[in-house]
Amino acid sequence: MLSNVARLLMASAAVSLVAFGSAPADACPAISSTVSALIADTTPVASGAVFFTAVQKAAFGVDSSGIALLWGSTSPNSGQYYTNFSAGNHVTKITTATGIAAGDVLVISPTSSPSYSGHTAIVTGAATLLSTAINPVHTDTKQWALPIADSTTSVHGCGTTYPDSRWSGTCSGGTFTPGEGTAYMRIYSDLADNLLGFSWSVTSGATYYEPATRPYIVGRLTPCPLP
């Protein structure tokens, strides 16, 4: 069923790449409402990019041919999604922390030095400003907890305030089960809320990645097709 894809392709061409000043509670209900069902499914998903692809198929009723029509591959990896997001293909770029909403997608670019394959995560809610910044702290920045859903082999922290659903037990003696789940990442902004770098988790000492070192884009499908 490709009618939704066709509508998405035609409408996307008319959308300019501007930041949303204020985010709706749910930027793309079709995306965000499908996430929990796929996490509950016991079928393994190989990566964040594959998880995002599976969500699109379930939410929009498209098959691999429809995915290829949209993104240039029947099974895009994070690098291919990042290239499409950078070009503004079928997405509007969100450039402020306050503009992010459930249903948006965060895509981290692959890098060659050091070698990194990139990552894709689906945003499940608005970014929440941390009342007290935690290490690493950077001057004239704000820190935000960003709720996400993804498939990964690397835990996004193990705390109770910003948990990873795939972690069980205490932080010192618990276990992590790779695969699909929900968690939190940390994003940084300047004092005007413009997006800067990020860290993999909302935990003290988590590595901070500069935008120039590990670029990422938060994108919103435009328009969001109905299921």
Phi, psi of 16 (to 5 degrees): -85, 155
Looking at residue 26, what is its pLDDT? 85
Q: Rounded distance, CA 152 to CA 222, Å?
A: 26
* Percent share of the chain, pLDDT over 70: 88
pLDDT tens digits for range 29-86: 889 889 999 998 877 788 999 999 999 999 999 999 999 999 999 999 999 999 999 9
> Which regions of the chain does DSSP assign to beta strands (E)?
91-94, 105-108, 111-112, 115-116, 119-123, 128-129, 141-152, 167-168, 175-176, 179-190, 195-199, 208-209, 216-221
Could you report the per-residue pLDDT of 85-96, keeping only the tens digit for each?
999 999 999 999
Residues 29/224, Cβ–Cβ less than 8 Å: yes
Domain count, the chain: 1
Hey, what are 203's tokens?
Answer: 């935990």
Q: How far is CA 199 from CA 2, 185, 186, 223, in A?
A: 37, 6, 5, 29
Q: Cα angle vertex 220, ends 217, 223, to 5°? A: 150
Q: Which of 12-16, 26-30, 120-124, 168-172 has the lowest mean pLDDT?
A: 12-16
Q: By CB neighbour count within 10 A (0-12 exposed, 13-18 middle, 19+ buried), where does 117 fall?
A: middle
Whether 226 is covered by a domain: the verdict is no
Question: Is the bond leading into 29 cis (omega within 30 degrees of zero)?
Answer: no
Whole-angstrom CA distances from 226 to 60, 123, 189 are 7, 18, 32
**Residue 191, in any domain of the structure:** yes
Tell me the per-residue pLDDT of 193-207, one tens digit each, with 9 for 90 and over. Answer: 999 999 999 999 999
Instruction: Kindly state whether residue 14 falls inside one of the protein's structural domains.
Output: yes
* Prediction pTM value: 0.89
Q: Among 216, 210, 206, which residue's Cα sits nearest to residue 197?
A: 210
Domain extent for 91 = 3-221
Structural domain includes residue 66: yes
